[in-house]
A and B are shown apart, each in its own frame.
Chain A
Amino acid sequence: MFKNKKLAASGVDTTEHAVAEPDRDQPWKELGLKEDEYLEIKNILGRRPTSSELAMYSVMWSEHCSYKSSKIYLRQFGEKVTDQMKEHLMVGMGENAGVVDIGEGLAVTFKVESHNHPSYIEPFQGAATGVGGIVRDILSMGARPIAVMDQLRFGAPENPDTSRVVHGVVDGISFYGNCLGLPNIGGETVFDSVYQGNPLVNALSIGAMKHEDLQLAKASNPGDLVILFGARTGADGIGGVSILASETFESTGPTKRPAVQVGDPFAEKVLIECCLELFHAGVVAGIQDLGGAGISCATSELASNGGKGMKVQLQNVLLRDQSLTPEEILMSESQERMCAVVPKKQLKAFEKIVEKWEVEYSVLGEVIDEDRLYINWGHEEIVNVPPRTVAHDGPVYDRPVALPQYQKALNDDSSSSLKRAENATELAAQLMQLIATPNQADKSWITAQYDKYVMGNTALSMPDDSGMVRISEETGLGVALATDANGKYAYLNPYEGARLALAEAYRNVAVTGAVPRAVTNCLNFGSPENPEVMWQFKEATAGLADACLELGIPVTGGNVSFYNQSGDVAIYPTPVVGVLGVIDDVARRIPSGWQDDGNNIYLLGNTFDELDGSAWAKDLHDHLGGQPPKVDLAKEIELAELLHGASIQGLIESAHDISEGGLGIAVLEAALRFNVGARIWLGEMLERDAIDMTAALFSESQSRVIVTVGREDDVKFQALCEARGVPCLRIGVTDATSSMVEIKDVADLKLDDIRSGWVNTLPELFS
C-alpha cells in the first residue's frame, strides 16, 4: 500500500518499482521489440526493465542502431582485409567515422549515412538533419568538417509527389550545408519510380585533422565528468516512445510529440567552432555526438567503449520543453548536441570556452569504476544496466535468405530482344533524347543551390567526376571523393552490382589524378524480414568486400538502411559506395571536359555489347533485364595506375569516366563542360571490338575513360598505354572553333541544341 502511494506521487517507474511489481504489462511490442528480446532484457537485468530501461533497449536494439540484421555480413569488411590495406587506416569501422592517414602528419575522416524515411515524411527537415547528423559524426573524431556530398534518389519525375520531395530535400540540404559553411563538392541524383514511396537521401561528410587531433568516443577514467552541451533537449523525434507516457498515470490519448527532428544549422556551426577550440585546448578526454537514440546512445556508448561505467543525473539535462518525461528525455533526438568527457581539473577551462561561444551545457554526471550505467531522476534510480548490453551486445540475427522467385526470368530477359536504331538519324535522335532525360540531364538546378566556394579549398566539384579539396595550403596535398551506385545493376545481380559501384567510384577518383585509398558505403535495401531482400544484402556485401580486397582498399565505415519499401515492393538494392583518394598536389587535378583546341581524344579500354541494365535500355525502352556489365578489377587497377602515371607527367588535359549512358553521353558531357566542340569517329572502334554503333554509343562496358592529351604529349601518352597494356584508341580531336560535336556516321550535333535539351529538363520539371 505504501509503495503504491509512492508510485502515485512521483509517476516515474524506478528500479525499485521494477522489483516490487515484476508482472506489470509493458509495451515492448509497440516499442518494436520481439518477445525473445524482451525476455533477454529481463534475463540480463534479473528483473523486468523500468520504462526508461525499456525505452533505451528498444531504441538501441532497433535495426537502425544495432545493425542486428546486417552485423553478420558487415563483419566481412573487417575480415577480408590484408595488412597492406590497413597501412593507412588510423581508425576503422565501429567508431563514428573511419580515419585515414594521408601523409604529412595529416588525416582525413569521412563517412556516408542515410536519412531516408524522415526525408519522405518531412523532406526539408529530414534532409537538413541528415546533413547535420553526419557532420557531427565527423566533428566527434576531432576533425574540422571540410566538405559534404549527397546521393539522392527520387521517384518518377512526372509524379507530383516527387516534386514535393525534391524541393524539400534540396532546400533542406542547401539550408543546412550552406549555413554550416561547408562546400558541397559532388554527389548524384537519380530518378526512378522504384523510389517513389521510398526516396533515398544519403549524406556524406569529410573532415581534416592532424594525427594528434584524433578524438575517440570513450569514457575511461573514473572521476571524469560527463557533460552534455549544445542545443537544449526537446521533443524531437520521440514519436514512438511517448507510448510510455500513457503507461504512467496520465489519461491515454493522442500525443503531440513529433516523430521528426528539427535542425538549426547556426547552432551546429557554433558547436563546431566551440568543439574544435575545446579539442585544441586539450580539455576533453572523450567526445560523442548525439544522433539516433540521443542520450541513451551517448551515455551507454561512451561507457561501453571506455570499459567503465557512468552515473548520470537526468534531471540536469537542460530542457526546452519542461513537460518531457524521463523516458522522453532519454530518447529525444534533438539536434546539435554533443556529450563530452571532461577531467575534473579541466572543467574551468571547458566552461570558459563554451561560455565564449555562448553554448549551453550541463554536467550530467561522472565516469565510475564499475561496469554499470546508473541514471537517476532526482533521488530515484530509473536506469541500472550493464552498458555493453545496451550499446554493443545487442541481438544478432541470421535472417532467412532466399533467391528471389523472379531472378531467373529477370536474368534471362536480356536487352538483346530490344529493337536497335536502324540508321544514323535514329541513332542521333536516341542520343539527343537520352542526354535530355532526367537521369542524364544537367543537375545545375540542384547544385547551384549549394555553396561550393566556402573555405576556398575546393579544387574540383560538380560536374567533374569527383569532388576534390585541398587539405594543406603549404604543399597542395588534397583528397578526392566520388560516390556511386547503380540500383539497376544491383537488382539484376547484387554481387556484381556492388562490385560495379566500387569500380565506378574508384575510377572516378582515378580520372582526377588522385590515388584511391579508402572506402565508405551506405547500403540501402528493402525489408530484412523479406528473405529475397536478405539474399540481395548477403550478395551485395560479399561483392563489395571481395572487390575491396581485390582493389586493395579497405572499408572504413558506413551505414545500413533497411525497410526501404512500401508494402511488398522494395527499392532496388542500392549499395552506395564512396571512394576517397589522395593527391600530392591539387594543382595537378584533371577536369572532366576539354578546353584546348586541337587535342586528340583517346578512348581507353575495350567496349563490348553490354546494354543490359543500361540507361539506353531503361530510359529509352523501359526495359530492365539480363546481366549487368562485367567488371575486371585487375583492369581497373591498371587503368588507375596509368592515369596516375600520366597525370604525374602532366600528360592529361582532361579525363572523363564512361558510365551510365555510355560513350555517347560521356563525349557530349565532356564537350558541354567548357562548351568546346569536337570531331569524333568510331569506325576503328567498331572494327576492333566487333560491335555495332548502338553498342558503341550506349553500351555501359566498364574500365573505360575518354582522355584528351596535348599534341606535344601524344607520343609519350600512347607509349605509356602500350607499356601498361591499356587499350588506347584515338577517336577524335577537340575543336574550339567549332560549335558542334560531329560524330561520323551518326550526326553533326550543334552544342547549343545539345545544351538546350540538357539544361532545361530539371528546371522544367521542378522550377
Chain B
Amino acid sequence: MKIGVITYPGTLDDRDAQRAIRLAGGTPVSLWHADDDLKKVDAVVLPGGFSYGDYLRCGAIAAQAPATKEVIKLAAQGLPVLGICNGFQILVESHLLPGGLIRNEKQHFVCRDQKLRVENNNTAWTSLFEENEEILIPLKNGEGGYIATDETLKMLEAENRIAFRYLDTNPNGSMNDIAGLTNERGNVVGLMPHPEHAVEPGFGPDTDIAMRSGVDGLKFFQSVLKMAVNS
C-alpha cells in the first residue's frame, strides 16, 4: 500500500514519517509540494516541521500549495489524511479541520513525552487502538495551542470529533486539552504530537520497561494499512 508524504520547503519530519510507514509495512512515496500529482497513493501524511518558516501563520502558505489543494480535493472523496504537528496546522488552515492553533501558553518550545488518550478509535488512523487507550507519544512544538469558539468546541465534543486528548499535563494550553481531531467522516486526522517518533525500539520515548522503547505510534500507520487491505 502506498502512502504519500509531502515535503514543503522547511518540512523536517518527512523522512521520519517515511520510516514509520516502512516499519508498519507500507510503501512510502515522496511527494513534492509544487506538484499536484499525488502519484495514486492510498493515503497521505502531512509531516511535521516549519514549512515556509512558519511565515504569516503556521501552515498558511503550505495550505496554498498545489499538492495541498489536491489533498483537499481527494480528502472530500475519502482519502485518508494524517496531519502531524505542522501537518495539523496545514489541515486547520485548509479548513479540513476546524479551529485554530496558536503559540503555546508558556511561550516556549517544548519537547516532551506526552501521555494521550485515544478517544475516537473509529478513524482511518486509529482503528487498531482500544477506545480510551492511553498512549505515550513525543510532543515538540512552540505553536500547538488549540483554540476554537464555544460553538465549535460543543460540536466537536458532541460529535466525538476529538480524536486525542492530553493526559497528566496540558503542554500548550490547548482548549479542552485537545491534542488531535478528526473530521466527520473519520478519514482526516490531525494531531500535535508525533507518532512517527515512537515507532522503532531504541529511538522512541522512555518507558518503565526500557530506555527509548516506546512504540505506541506504530499503530497509527498500521491502522491505515489495515483499512486499505480491507477496502
Please list the residues of chain A having a beta carbon within 8 angstroms of any beta carbon in chain B. Answer: 171, 174-175, 178-181, 264-267, 269-270, 273, 357-358, 448-459, 470, 473, 586-587, 591, 595, 674
16 residue pairs of the A-B complex, CB under 8 angstroms, read A175-B109, A178-B109, A179-B10, A180-B12, A265-B53, A273-B9, A358-B9, A454-B140, A456-B15, A456-B16, A456-B196, A456-B203, A458-B203, A587-B202, A591-B211, A674-B211
Number of A-B contacts (CB under 8 A): 84
Chain B contacts of A358 at CB under 8 A?
9
Assembled-state Cα–Cα distance A112/B138 (Å): 28
Inter-chain contact B109/A449, CB cutoff 8 Å: yes
Chain B min CB distance to A427 (Å)? 31
Chain A min CB distance to B218 (Å)? 13
Chain A contacts of B140 at CB under 8 A?
178, 451, 453-454
Chain B contacts of A181 at CB under 8 A?
12-13, 49
Chain B min CB distance to A35 (Å)? 47
Interface range on chain B (Cβ under 8 Å from partner): 20 to 34
Chain A contacts of B138 at CB under 8 A?
453
Inter-chain contact B211/A456, CB cutoff 8 Å: no
Chain A contacts of B54 at CB under 8 A?
266
B117 close to chain A: CB less than 8 A: no
Cross-interface CB contact of A448 among B19, B112, B211, cutoff 8 Å = B112
Inter-chain contact A674/B206, CB cutoff 8 Å: yes
Inter-chain contact A449/B108, CB cutoff 8 Å: yes
B165 close to chain A: CB less than 8 A: no
B56 close to chain A: CB less than 8 A: no
Chain B contacts of A175 at CB under 8 A?
109
Identify the closest chain A residue to B50 (Cβ). A179
Chain A contacts of B55 at CB under 8 A?
266
Chain A contacts of B13 at CB under 8 A?
181, 454
Inter-chain contact B50/A459, CB cutoff 8 Å: no
Query: Do A179 and B212 form a contact, CB below 8 Å, given A269-B12, A455-B15?
Result: no
B2-33 vs A, CB cutoff 8 Å, 1 = contact: the mask equals 00000001101101100100000000000000
8 Å CB interface, B169-212 against A? 194, 196-197, 199-200, 202-203, 206, 210-212
B110 close to chain A: CB less than 8 A: yes
Identify the closest chain A residue to B9 (Cβ). A270
Identify the closest chain A residue to B14 (Cβ). A181
Chain A min CB distance to B71 (Å)? 21
Q: Chain B's interface: helix, strand, loop or mixed, by majority?
A: loop
Inter-chain contact A269/B110, CB cutoff 8 Å: no
Inter-chain contact B12/A448, CB cutoff 8 Å: no
Cross-interface CB contact of A459 among B52, B109, B203, cutoff 8 Å = B203
Query: Do A456 and B111 form a contact, CB below 8 Å, given A178-B140, A179-B50?
Result: no
Chain B min CB distance to A763 (Å)? 11
Identify the closest chain A residue to B34 (Cβ). A356
Query: Do A453 and B197 form a contact, CB below 8 Å, given A459-B212, A595-B210, A595-B211?
Result: yes
Identify the closest chain B residue to A469 (Cβ). B203
Identify the closest chain B residue to A444 (Cβ). B112
Inter-chain contact A179/B111, CB cutoff 8 Å: no
Inter-chain contact A269/B202, CB cutoff 8 Å: no
Chain A contacts of B15 at CB under 8 A?
455-456
Chain B contacts of A357 at CB under 8 A?
9
B142-168 vs A, CB cutoff 8 Å, 1 = contact: the mask equals 100000000000000000000000000
Assembled-state Cα–Cα distance A184/B168 (Å): 26
B92-119 vs A, CB cutoff 8 Å, 1 = contact: the mask equals 0000000000000000111110000000
Chain B contacts of A453 at CB under 8 A?
16, 111, 138, 140, 194, 197, 203
Chain B min CB distance to A378 (Å)? 34
Assembled-state Cα–Cα distance A504/B224 (Å): 48
Assembled-state Cα–Cα distance A739/B12 (Å): 40
Identify the closest chain B residue to A736 (Cβ). B208
Identify the closest chain B residue to A274 (Cβ). B9
Inter-chain contact A456/B19, CB cutoff 8 Å: yes
Assembled-state Cα–Cα distance A595/B110 (Å): 26
Assembled-state Cα–Cα distance A171/B142 (Å): 11
Query: Do A449 and B110 form a contact, CB below 8 Å, given A178-B140, A179-B53, A266-B10?
Result: yes
Listed residue (A452, A455, A591) with the most chain B CB atoms within 10 angstroms of its CB: A455
Assembled-state Cα–Cα distance A334/B111 (Å): 30
Assembled-state Cα–Cα distance A674/B16 (Å): 27
Closest 6 A-B residue pairs measured CB to CB?
A: A266-B53, A181-B12, A453-B197, A456-B16, A179-B50, A591-B211
Inter-chain contact A450/B111, CB cutoff 8 Å: yes
Beyond the given pairs A174-B108, A449-B110, 6 more chain A to chain B contacts, judged by CB atoms under 8 angstroms and listed by A's residue number, are A273-B9, A357-B9, A453-B194, A455-B16, A456-B16, A674-B211
Chain B contacts of A473 at CB under 8 A?
19
Assembled-state Cα–Cα distance A595/B194 (Å): 26
Listed residue (A267, A269, A357, A454) with the most chain B CB atoms within 10 angstroms of its CB: A454
Chain B min CB distance to A583 (Å)? 12
Query: Do A456 and B109 form a contact, CB below 8 Å, given A266-B52, A591-B211, A674-B206?
Result: no
